[in-house]
């Protein structure tokens, strides 16, 4: 284990025992020779994973691939069946929400207990209470039993506790999606500052856009094994292609719902042709514009706007956003028109749909997202090519002259 390695997993397996009937579990517990009343299910197999200090890792994989199991083992809430797991730092994990809380205790009591479990003394844990209360913003509920909390309050308290124990490693398992948007933004700011401080972050999401925006590298789990690890863009792209090719049943997670449109509202989307006329029909090869009117209600640092085009089979034809193009949007509140211009549209004739979305800078929080909100047609009376796009091209042929010797 190098001095930079903060998480080191070697040859780790996790097996779950599956009992067909509750009585079989009881029989197993009571049997002296531990007769096998169960079936074995290997959720993780031969995992070797070393993560260095300061890395931001995106953990991806389809449903049931073993992501949560791996995170729980790293977090120490689940034991592996075999292998070694060495962690050299303090871990704060936001896994199943509030799973570490005792429902009968108040928020304050739980926060203090959590702090002591994380290695703080009771005094240190108490000293951090004002910051936790401040961050969680749940007011007087801090002194109510957590069983009375809404799921949003749980996230608030859980995140506040997690980030105020000064962890070296932060694990976030899509927990953020439950909180309200203002709070999500606050959490993301905190995660960014953790990243800047060189802390290690493991982030699980089904949203590849979020993973690409937040992580440096990605680990792809498939059927309980690490299938790929590497550059976040390459691995997530390959994962998306894999999912699209339909190797899997259509169990891709639903999109993360748009955060309530408190910060930004998309008011209108329209298409205009090269002559500035509003229309949704274009000639093949013609340029056109998509004009998005939106209302920014609160200033938003690093606002990102994007448009994606899909064909009728849902193939993602082209996704563009202002961040990828280094185009900065204004951050002050106001009403805006954002125009994206496509020159020489060489999509083949057919009907296409668009998604339009706005995100805060890391891409983790959707401020407003309209899926397949408008469609347009590319028309041509000529039959000139097949497929999805027609690239600019030319043909050439040369006759090979055979020389007799």
Ligand X SMILES: Nc1ncnc2c1ncn2[C@@H]1O[C@H](COP(=O)(O)OP(=O)(O)OP(=O)(O)O)[C@@H](O)[C@H]1O
Q: Using CB under 6 A, which residues numbered 44 to 73 contact ligand X? A: 61, 63-69
Nearest to ligand X of 211, 309 (CB atom): 211
- Smallest gap from Cβ 331 to ligand X, in A, equals 34
* Contacts with 234 (C-beta within 8 Å, 6 or more apart), sequence order: none
- Which residue lies nearer to ligand X by CB, 142 or 171? 171
Q: Which of residues 69-98 bind ligand X (CB under 6 A)?
A: 69
For residue 8, the minimal CB distance to ligand X (Å) is: 20
Residue 236: strand, helix, or coil:
helix
Contact status: 41 vs ligand X (CB under 6 A): yes
User: What sign does the CA torsion over 170, 172, 173, 178 have?
Assistant: positive
Least distance to ligand X from the beta carbon of 302, Å? Answer: 29
316 binds ligand X (CB under 6 A): no
Q: Spell out the alpha helix ranges (H) of 31-66.
A: none
Q: How far is the CB of 221 from ligand X (least distance, A)?
A: 6
Per CB under 6 A, contacts with ligand X among 223-242 are none
Residues 328-367 that bind ligand X (CB under 6 A): none
Closer Cβ to ligand X, 78 or 262, answer by number: 78
| Structure token digits, residue 88 | 């050299």
- As given in the structure block, the two tokens for residue 131 are 């910051």
CA 162 – CA 95 distance, rounded (Å):
11
Closest CA to 310 of 279, 352, 270: 352
Ramachandran class of 377: left when φ > 0, alpha when ψ lies in -120 to 50, beta otherwise:
beta
Q: Provide the 8-state DSSP code for 130.
A: H
Whichever of 18 and 267 has its CB closer to ligand X, that residue is: 18
Q: Of 6, 12, 43, 303, which one interacts with ligand X (CB under 6 A)?
A: 43
CB of 149 to ligand X, least distance (A): 23
Minimum CB distance to ligand X, residue 254 (Å): 12
If the CB atoms of residues 47 and 263 are measured against ligand X, the closer one turns out to be: 47
Nearer to ligand X, 42 or 336 (CB): 42
Cα–Cα distance, 152 to 166 (Å, whole number): 23
CB of 152 to ligand X, least distance (A): 21
- Dihedral sign, CA of 275, 278, 281, 287? positive
CB of 173 to ligand X, least distance (A): 8
- If the CB atoms of residues 48 and 68 are measured against ligand X, the closer one turns out to be 68
- Which parts of 66-128 fold into alpha helices (H)? 67-75, 107-117, 122-127
Distance CA 312, CA 351 (A): 7
Using the minimum distance from each CB to ligand X, give the nearer residue, 82 or 330.
82
C-alpha span between 181 and 64 (Å, rounded) = 28
Which residues from 1-40 bind ligand X, rule CB under 6 A? 16, 18
- Please state, in angstroms and rounded to a whole number, the distance separating the CA atoms of residues 205 and 366: 14
Please give the Cα distance from 2 to 37 (Å, whole number): 42
1/23 with CB nearer ligand X: 23
At 41, phi and psi to the nearest 5?
A: -130, 120
Least Å from the CB of residue 41 to ligand X: 5
DSSP-assigned states of every residue in 347-402: BPSEEEEEEEEEE-TTS-SEEEEEEEEEEEEEE-SS----SSB---------PPPP
| 295 is an interface residue for ligand X by CB under 6 A | no
The count of chain residues that interact with ligand X, using the rule CB under 6 A, is 12
- Using rule CB under 6 A, residue 128 touches ligand X: no
Under rule CB under 6 A, residue 179 binds ligand X: no
Examine residue 312 and tell whether it contacts ligand X (CB under 6 A). no
- Contacting residues toward ligand X, per CB under 6 A: 16, 18, 41, 43, 61, 63-69
């Amino acid at each position: 284990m190098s001095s930079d390695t903060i998480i080191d997993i070697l040859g780790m397996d996790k097996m779950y025992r599956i009992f067909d009937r509750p009585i079989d579990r009881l029989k197993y517990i009571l049997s002296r020779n531990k007769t096998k009343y169960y079936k074995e299910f290997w959720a993780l197999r031969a995992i070797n994973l070393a993560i260095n200090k300061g890395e931001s890792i995106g953990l991806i994989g389809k449903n049931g691939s073993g992501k949560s199991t791996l995170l729980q083992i790293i977090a120490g809430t689940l034991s592996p069946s075999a292998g070694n797991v060495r962690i050299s730092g303090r871990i704060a994990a936001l896994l199943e929400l509030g799973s570490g809380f005792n429902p009968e205790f108040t928020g304050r009591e739980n926060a203090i207990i959590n702090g002591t479990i994380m290695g703080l003394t009771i005094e240190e844990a108490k000293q951090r209470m004002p910051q936790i209360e401040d961050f969680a913003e749940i007011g007087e509920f801090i002194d109510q039993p957590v069983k009375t909390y809404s799921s949003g309050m749980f996230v608030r308290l859980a995140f506040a506790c997690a980030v105020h124990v000064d962890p070296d490693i932060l694990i976030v398992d899509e927990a953020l999606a439950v909180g309200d948007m203002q709070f999500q933004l606050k959490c993301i700011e905190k995660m960014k500052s953790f990243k800047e401080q060189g802390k290690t972050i493991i982030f699980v999401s089904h949203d590849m856009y979020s993973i690409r925006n937040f992580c440096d590298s990605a680990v792809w789990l498939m059927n309980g094994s690490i299938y790929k690890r590497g550059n976040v863009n390459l691995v997530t792209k390959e994962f998306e292609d894999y999912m699209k090719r339909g190797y899997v049943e259509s169990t891709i997670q639903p999109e993360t719902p748009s955060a309530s449109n408190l910060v930004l509202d998309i008011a209108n989307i329209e298409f205009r042709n090269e002559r500035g006329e509003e229309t949704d029909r274009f000639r093949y090869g013609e340029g056109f514009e998509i004009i998005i009117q939106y209302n920014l209600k609160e200033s938003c640092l690093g606002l990102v706007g994007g448009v994606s085009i899909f064909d009728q089979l849902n193939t993602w034809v082209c996704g563009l956003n202002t961040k990828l193009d280094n185009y900065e949007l204004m951050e002050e509140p106001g009403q805006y028109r954002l125009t994206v211009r496509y020159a020489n549209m060489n999509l083949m004739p057919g009907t296409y749909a668009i998604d339009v979305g706005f995100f805060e800078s890391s891409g983790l929080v959707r401020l407003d997202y309209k899926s397949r909100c408008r469609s347009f047609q590319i028309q041509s009376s000529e039959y000139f090519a097949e497929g999805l796009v027609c690239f600019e091209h030319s043909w050439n042929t040369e006759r090979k002259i055979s020389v007799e010797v």
